[in-house]
């Protein structure tokens, strides 16, 4: 394997023209972008942990379940109805940068339309889906589902920023909303107005300022155009539909459990499950940060390079996730009691199951990027759909019998099947050996060397900034 192949996420040749690349002051090197993204994810984890602890303690399991029932739907519906647009936009912008204005314009329109469809579906079917909740909770859930179009556009906007190398802006869009949410929850708590409905407003409304900021930034960078809308939409959807199954499976693996738990169980059990889920999903930071950088960098690379990049990315991110997961499993009962309260210690068993599921699903997510980058999204779509077919029947069978533990087991079985499918598809469809996903000593050396280089780069930037100030 060549040196360039063995160094995952080393700086790769950008498909944007040289003069365009020179104008991107916010573009980061690949390793630096991953480090920044991991830092961002852990900042978000800290903020989400604070909001979760505050809302769980103040609202108790019943109130926390009602809050989840109201704020779940915009992100669930927007993610379920992407039609592969974020992935398609990333791929097309990297491979057809000369058409970036038209591509982004078409993507924004399509995302808005899919979001409107999601809002309409939520309004119509909300009462039938969560009839055990109060009339007030159902009505506010219908109100908050109107946020779905904005959520869909945010997904497309972040994909455009990342394809342009502006990971800093994308990370800001991840940081600002939860930080503002925490601020408003603290205010509501201090003045004695922290109710499930007021907390839901704090989660939903704070996304508006960063949304406007993102649109202004996209306008300056891309000058979105609606010329040749039909051709641009067809180009996006030709890739997006094939990639849609991956997005849909990812969404279902992240949210279908909550959607079914909120349907089948009382608010108190929903609140307990959400707390366990939130604690386990801390581990998503490693895989999500790697994929955020891996996919744009892997597009237009030779197959062997893509395989090398993906293999090492999967090994390193899974190793870090597994190590952190052992810590959560070991101290999970104490963390639940200490952070959230004794009312939530019943989530200990499902927490352990969910931690293992996160480790496996993250590895699957990273490995699937090889098919995305090599323009074979349909293969992963078909294979992931097969895995998803395990989830729904298992949920319907296990949740009524085992409660939240059944939901965790259904996710674990489905994720294991999807991981096996993705690994087997490398020789079947890409004619490549199955990637080695077991950690190697050289991976540890790689992490140490690049961590040292990144720290040195940061020190140099500080020195330059200090010299400039002098």
Q: What was the pLDDT predicted at 14?
A: 35
Task: Name the residue among 223, 312, 277 with its Cα closest to residue 64.
Answer: 277
- CA count, 13 A, side-chain hemisphere, 194: 24
Residues 313-341, mean pLDDT to the nearest whole number = 88
Count the neighbouring beta carbons within 10 Å of the beta carbon of residue 201: 18
Residues 445-464, mean pLDDT to the nearest whole number = 72
In the predicted model, what is the mean pLDDT of the chain? 83
Model confidence over 263-286: pLDDT tens digits? Answer: 877 888 888 888 888 888 888 877
Q: Which two tokens stand for residue 339?
A: 């952070």
- Candidate from 48-57, 284-293, 306-315 with smallest mean pLDDT: 284-293
Task: Name the residue among 318, 435, 419, 421 with its Cα closest to residue 379.
Answer: 421
Q: Measured between alpha carbons, how far is 157 from 451 in angstroms, rounded to an integer?
A: 29
Q: Measured between alpha carbons, how far is 223 from 25 in angstroms, rounded to an integer?
A: 18
Q: What was the pLDDT predicted at 115?
A: 94
Task: Name the residue among 208, 345, 265, 206 with its Cα closest to residue 66.
Answer: 265
User: Confidence class of residue 383 from pLDDT cuts 50, 70 and 90?
Assistant: low
Phi, psi (rounded to 5 degrees) for 175: -85, -45
pLDDT of 196 over the 90 cut? yes
Residues 33-58, mean pLDDT to the nearest whole number = 77
User: Confidence class of residue 7 from pLDDT cuts 50, 70 and 90?
Assistant: very low
pLDDT of 1 over the 80 cut? no
Q: What was the pLDDT predicted at 23?
A: 39
Domain residue spans in the chain?
Answer: 30-465
Q: Which two tokens stand for residue 212?
A: 């406007």
User: Confidence class of residue 63 from pLDDT cuts 50, 70 and 90?
Assistant: very high
- Residue written as tokens 């078909």? 382
Q: What was the pLDDT predicted at 351?
A: 93
Compare 158 and 339 and report the one with higher pLDDT.
158
Model confidence over 160-187: pLDDT tens digits? Answer: 888 887 877 888 888 888 899 999 999 9
Phi, psi (rounded to 5 degrees) for 79: -70, -35
Residues 73-82, mean pLDDT to the nearest whole number = 90
- Candidate from 54-63, 86-95, 124-133, 460-469 with smallest mean pLDDT: 460-469
Q: Which two tokens stand for residue 171?
A: 């990370």
3-state secondary structure the chain: CCHHHHCCCCCCCCCCCHHHHHCCCCCCCHHHHHHHHHHHHHHHHHHHHHHHHHHHHHHHHHHHHHHHHHHHHHHHHHHHCCCCHHHHHHHHHHHCHHHHHHHHHHHHHHHHHHHHHHHHHHHHHHHHHCCCCCHHHHHHHHHHHHHHHHHHHHHHHHHHHHHCCCHHHHHHHHHHHHHHHHHHHHHHHHCCCCCHHHHHHHHHHCCHHHHHHHHHHHHHHHCCCCCCHHHHHHHHHHHHHHHHHHHHHHHHHHHHHHHHHHHHCCHHHHHHHHHHHHHHHHHHHHHHHHHHHHHHHHCCCCHHHHHHHHHHHHHHHHHHHHHHHHHHHHHHHHHHHHHHCHHHHHHHHHHHHHHHHHHHHHHHHHHCHHHHHCCCHHHHHHHHHHHHHHHHHHHHHHHHHHCHHHHHHHHHHHHHHHHHHHHHHHHHHHCCCCCCCCCCHHHHHHHHHHHHHHHHHHHHHHHHHHHHHC
Q: What was the pLDDT predicted at 210?
A: 92
Compare 388 and 57 and report the one with higher pLDDT.
57
pLDDT of 295 over the 80 cut? no
Q: What was the pLDDT predicted at 31?
A: 59
91: CB partners within 8 A, 6+ apart: 239, 299, 372, 373, 375
């Amino acid at each position: 394997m060549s040196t360039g192949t063995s160094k995952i996420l080393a700086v790769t040749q950008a498909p944007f023209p040289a003069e365009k690349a020179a104008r991107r002051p916010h573009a980061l090197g690949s390793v630096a972008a991953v480090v920044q993204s991991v830092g961002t994810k852990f900042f978000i984890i800290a903020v989400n942990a604070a909001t979760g602890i505050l809302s769980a303690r103040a609202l108790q399991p019943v109130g926390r379940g009602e809050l989840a029932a109201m704020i779940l739907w915009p992100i669930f519906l927007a993610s379920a109805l992407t039609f592969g647009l974020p992935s398609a936009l990333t791929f097309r912008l990297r491979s057809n940068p000369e058409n970036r204005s038209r591509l982004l314009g078409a993507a924004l329109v399509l995302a808005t339309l899919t979001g409107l469809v999601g809002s309409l579906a939520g309004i119509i079917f909300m009462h039938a889906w969560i009839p055990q909740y109060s009339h007030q909770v159902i009505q506010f859930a219908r109100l908050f589902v109107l946020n779905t179009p904005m959520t869909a556009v945010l997904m497309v906007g972040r994909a455009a920023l990342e394809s342009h190398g502006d990971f800093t802006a994308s990370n800001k869009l991840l940081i600002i909303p939860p930080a503002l949410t925490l601020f408003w929850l603290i205010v509501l708590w201090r003045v004695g107005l922290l109710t499930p409905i007021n907390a839901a407003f704090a989660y939903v409304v704070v996304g508006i300022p960063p949304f406007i900021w993102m649109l202004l930034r996209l306008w300056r960078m891309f000058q979105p155009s609606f010329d040749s809308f039909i051709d641009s939409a067809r180009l996006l959807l030709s890739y997006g539909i094939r990639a849609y199954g991956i997005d849909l499976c990812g969404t279902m693996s992240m949210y279908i459990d909550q959607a079914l738990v909120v349907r089948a169980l009382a608010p108190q059990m929903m609140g307990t499950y959400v707390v366990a889920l939130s604690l386990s999903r801390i581990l998503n930071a490693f895989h999500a940060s790697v994929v955020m950088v891996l996919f744009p960098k892997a597009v237009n690379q030779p197959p062997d390079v893509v395989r090398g990049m993906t293999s090492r990315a999967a090994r390193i991110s899974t190793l870090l996730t597994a190590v952190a997961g052992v810590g959560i499993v070991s101290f999970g009962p104490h963390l639940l009691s200490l952070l959230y309260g004794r009312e939530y210690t019943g989530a200990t068993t499902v927490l352990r199951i969910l931690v293992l599921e996160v480790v496996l699903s993250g590895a699957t997510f990273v490995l699937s990027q090889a098919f995305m980058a090599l323009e074979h999204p349909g293969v992963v779509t078909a294979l992931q759909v097969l895995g998803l077919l395990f989830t729904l029947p298992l949920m319907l069978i296990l949740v009524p019998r085992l409660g939240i533990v059944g939901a965790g087991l259904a996710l674990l079985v489905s994720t294991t099947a999807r991981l096996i499918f993705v690994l087997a598809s490398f020789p079947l469809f890409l004619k490549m050996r199955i990637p080695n996903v077991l950690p190697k000593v050289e991976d540890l050396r790689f992490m140490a060397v690049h961590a040292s280089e990144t720290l040195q780069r940061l020190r140099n930037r500080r020195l330059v900034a200090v010299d400039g100030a002098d």
